[in-house]
Structure 1
Amino acid sequence: MGPMIEVSELTKRYGGKTAVDRLSFTVRPGRVTGFLGPNGAGKSTTLRMILGLDAPTAGAATVDGVPFRRHPRGLRHVGALLDASHVHGGRTAAAHLAALARSNALPRRRVDESLAEVGLTEAANRRVGGFSLGMKQRLGIAAALLGDPPVLLFDEPVNGMDPEGVLWVRNLFRRLAAEGRTVFLSSHLMSEMENTADDLIVIGRGRLIAAEPLRDFATRGTHRAVAVATPQAAELAAVLTAAGAIVEREGPTPEPERDAATPERERPTPEREYPAATRRLTVTGLPATRIGALAHEHRIRLDELTPHTASLEAAFMELTATATEYPAGRPR
């Protein structure tokens, strides 16, 4: 098994403010682990403590069993991208990486290899000050890969990247994890987490909210909906409501246009004119299997029973609703 990142009772206080509060989790090799939390949750502070850039008030963070600072020639053990703009603008990309290689006793060939890995070979001799944010992100990833480390940490790595760059980053992280490396990724982009991460660490106000596979977390939201179609909509709605569900009809059903020349008895009823609208329900609070069982028990025919795909964003918003430092719409 490769090296793990282990955080144990990690705490960081700034005066009277607690940024990270007794945080404990493990990041395992061979998987991409996403790090999620609202703004101000303590993600960046946690990453800085793992890398030894900030000292914890209490607790510990280790990489392969020891604090990062004890690893000689750190880039051989951990590669990290925390702030892509934190590069001297007057240096060329190659010179920036060459300085890092020298300070970590890495061979010069790793500079060219890392630039090629991130698609910056043709920009090697350009000054970083003229780079776009996306190019700076690529250079930061090249620096993280320079020592070919088994552990990689990235903070918002796709900021400023175009769709092609985002796809490239996603595939890179999946490949690095497939090679057995430990990949820890902080991002506010739910779509990227859904497409990239295997596991999630979710924090709010410095405290752990969840540490589990992404698939399990996405199904934790209680407000997932099930679409139901039935010719006995009123009857089914009553049964499901009695069982604790919240039932909404899709509609209201529009009234057909009335023609004064058409006798009343020949005018189509709304049900006949718009049968789909009168038969569709959206149900929350009960899983699809329970809805199906109740319909069968009460001899109600179902034409459709479709659980909506679990949404990572919906689960995240629900479970972190009370962990946002300044929630929109609430008085401070």
Structure 2
Amino acid sequence: MIEVKELTKRYGSTAAVQNLTFTVRPGRVTGFLGPNGAGKSTTLRMVLGLHAPTGGTVTVDGRPFADRPRGLRHVGSLLDAHDVHGGRSARAQLAALARSNRIPRTRVDEVLAEVGLAEVAHRRIGGYSLGMKQRLGIASALLGDPPVLLFDEPLNGLDPEGVKWVRELLRRLADEGRTVFVSSHLMSEMEHTADELIVIGRGELIAAESLDTFSARGTRRHVTVRTPEAGRLIDLLTAAEATVTSYGERLEVTGLDAPEIARVALDHRILLHHLSTENASLERAFMELTADSAQYVSADLAAGAPR
């Protein structure tokens, strides 16, 4: 397990992380979410001993990670795909990591094949695309066959096939009983992949719970309607005790279900272009529950435009 207890990191008077407490358990994919500047990368770097906390503790399997001399056998990580020597080949880079962690050389070719880089392993990393560097970073994380894996934005630069491959890889690693901790801004992928979520904002914990629980508590189920006669339909639905939010021809309705709205429109000969029930979504819950924690907000959102 990864156990974080009252973890704090300050840079002068600025608190990047404040009193964080959470646990990441094996056998599941745990997503790590938060707006830009929330403290996710700082937290991951403290897990790996790259930053010293100002206060609190973080352990991996009961010990600080920095205390383990052969770290790649215990924790594999991808924090920055560009943080690698561009003049080396992928095979040379992995071979150096293997030697320093007493990992058999045969493992290098195994992970190169697994991430799809076997045919270009002789090429210098400086000539790799971002997607190829991401694959190399994942290979480095897998090299020691560790029980704990940390990934920071592992899907950056990957094509659709690569995204699908990473999604399936994360699922497989968790199914093997490993601890998988993934930071990402891609809500759609977290919705497909994560079992649990850790959500932070401005360095503080917002939620630590299952994906389904988080998605459900941040938003209400509603019906989306599109009609060129929005004004008439709003009056009729309001009279039927529904709550309607209008965005021009698009309406969001709560208090009546889709068949009831369709019946009202039919009875009054109102044309509908679209009618669908919208269930709870991770993206909507995230936007609502982190709205007060976002440090960088575009002008339209700050003005209250529809999200």
Q: Smaller-chain TM-score range?
A: 0.7 to 0.9
One-letter code aligned to 2:200:
I
Aligned partner of 1:257 in structure 2 is: none
Q: Cα 1:226–1:130, aligned 2, differ >3 Å: closer, same or farther?
A: same
Provide TM-score, normalisation by structure 2: 0.85
Aligned partner of 1:267 in structure 2 is: none
Q: Is the 8 A contact 2:219 2:280 kept in 1?
A: no
Runs of 4+ in structure 1 off by over 4 angstroms are 232-236, 247-252, 286-289
Rg larger in structure: 1
CA displacement, residues 8-27 of structure 1 (integer Å, 9 cap, x when unaligned): 10000000100001011111
User: Does 2:155 correspond to 1:154?
Assistant: no
CA displacement, residues 226-252 of structure 1 (integer Å, 9 cap, x when unaligned): 3589xx9866532425xxx34659959
Aligned partner of 2:270 in structure 1 is: none
Aligned partner of 2:105 in structure 1 is: 108
Q: How does 1:224-239 map to 2 (within 5 A)?
A: 224-226=221-223, 237-239=238-240
One-letter code aligned to 2:61:
D
Aligned partner of 1:283 in structure 2 is: 253
CA displacement, residues 17-56 of structure 1 (integer Å, 9 cap, x when unaligned): 0000101111111111111110000000000000000000
User: Does 2:286 correspond to 1:316?
Assistant: yes
Q: How does 1:1-332 map to 2 (within 5 A)?
A: 4-226=1-223, 237-241=238-242, 245-246=243-244, 282-284=252-254, 286=255, 307-329=277-299, 330=302
Q: Is the 8 A contact 2:220 2:279 kept in 1?
A: no
One-letter code aligned to 2:128:
F
Q: 1:224 Cα deviation (Å)?
A: 3.9
CA distance in 2, matches of 1:102, 1:179: 26
Aligned partner of 1:300 in structure 2 is: none
Q: Cα 1:249–1:92, aligned 2, differ >3 Å: closer, same or farther?
A: closer
Unaligned 5+ segments in structure 2 are 227-232, 264-274
Unaligned 5+ segments in structure 1 are 253-280, 296-304
CA distance in 2, matches of 1:89, 1:233: 60
CA distance in 2, matches of 1:94, 1:248: 57
Matched residue of 1:144: which SS?
helix
Q: Is the 8 A contact 1:93 1:124 kept in 2?
A: yes
Q: 1:173 Cα deviation (Å)?
A: 0.6
Give the total of aligned pairs.
283
